[in-house]
Structure 1
Amino acid sequence: MEKQPLPNESEERQAGKNSTLIEKITQLGQTNVPQMSQDSKIHCLSIVGQVEGHIQLPPQNKTTKYEHIIPQIVAIEQNANIEGLLVILNTVGGDVEAGLAISEMLASMSKPTVSIVLGGGHSIGVPIAVSCSYSFIAETATMTIHPIRLTGLVIGVPQTFEYLDKMQDRVINFVTKHSKISEDHFKELMFATGNLTRDIGTNVIGTDAVEYGLIDEVGGVGRAMQKLNELIEQSKAQKSDEGMLQ
């Protein structure tokens, strides 16, 4: 019987890399994790489906788990090889506190960040979209702005209503602080009747989002990457100037 040749080390390493890559894509929806991102100075973070927070959603739901996203943001901030972050959004919204946590972390990063809404950035996806240094929206993409709600149930306890009201204020304050839209206009869109069938709120499309001051510019991935590279160069120049002054 002939002996089969043993695979060489390079083939074994390549097989191991492929297996790890598939696992990362399956678990995190990412082609690489920040710690290993040495090929590019820009890292891409995708937030798709529903933002999953404290309650685990059914397996058939397409979700972005905040316990996956938060460590990645920390790792991106710490990694010296990564100079900028591109956030791709196509989300229906989800857990309010988880979405606000992601938004706050993105807004507090020291590195340039650019977000782009493709398809949709609804509900709690709105604060995430405006949290970056600069934001884009595809011409056909939409953003649904509506009040915070609990699956349509009647709220019978005053304390619960007050809690939801305060949480809603947190969302309003964050969005108006990190975009050009005024608080009055944002509330007007949030509580509008007749725009959404049998519901309260407004569906904002592409150019309207820019016109209202929610998003900075209409554009696609190419323009978003161009802007991010510009911000990276500006950040480098600013650091260089600060170093010279010291």
Structure 2
Amino acid sequence: MTFDLNSAPIVFLAWERGLDLPEDSLLSELRNGRHSHPVESNELTFLRLWDQSILTGPPHLLAAAQKYDDDELSDHSTMLRLTKLDGGRGLGTQALYYADDLELHQPEHTVHVSTGDAEAAALESLCPPDDVNDVDLTRRQHKFTVMDSGEPDAGPLACSAYAEYQGLLAQLGTLVAPDSRRQGLGRLATSIAAHEALAAGLIVQWRADINNAAAHRLAVSAGFSVAGLLTRISLQNRQTRHK
């Protein structure tokens, strides 16, 4: 795998910013164990990264969560029970993968790669809605679509795209046309996008629902290192009170 743990503080810093935590709250706590941080949020979030775990959300939920261990809080059903009175709605549990260096997967033949929005949109029109919504290419600014041939009017086969997260990470997602799957095109597109992100000075982050076996296979084949889990619950009642 291709992630140097010396890069871990950069990942923690990105999540520290993303979870709206006090400056240096995670970087100063780089030790084993769980850290709870009360935040005024409409979400309860449990993040496990390597030997650390971070729970953020309203103070009363953090207090109620003290009786659970990390394995229990990583379980989506536990978090839903914990937030029942707050109108908890599950946002899923995702595995987190990272890479700060990757081997370049060279294609057997010359391929044409488009960086345009139109080609990515054309690919989305070929794919099931659930796959399109899961990857959500439209919100990822940097797109790399592998086309059927070098011809300008060729159809799209696969697209990998990334969006910057907190100026430190490249959140990567890959979509492959149904008729082009299991041919290595997803790995090829992922490799292209990942190397572009690394060249831009970012660490690559891959998030995949724990039940998405294909996404996990792709992450492993591309060379990403698994680092943890992210479980998120939306607090519907709290949102209502804040409107």
Which one has a bigger Cα radius of gyration? 1
**TM (normalized to structure 1)?**
0.24
Higher helix share: 1
Higher strand share: 2
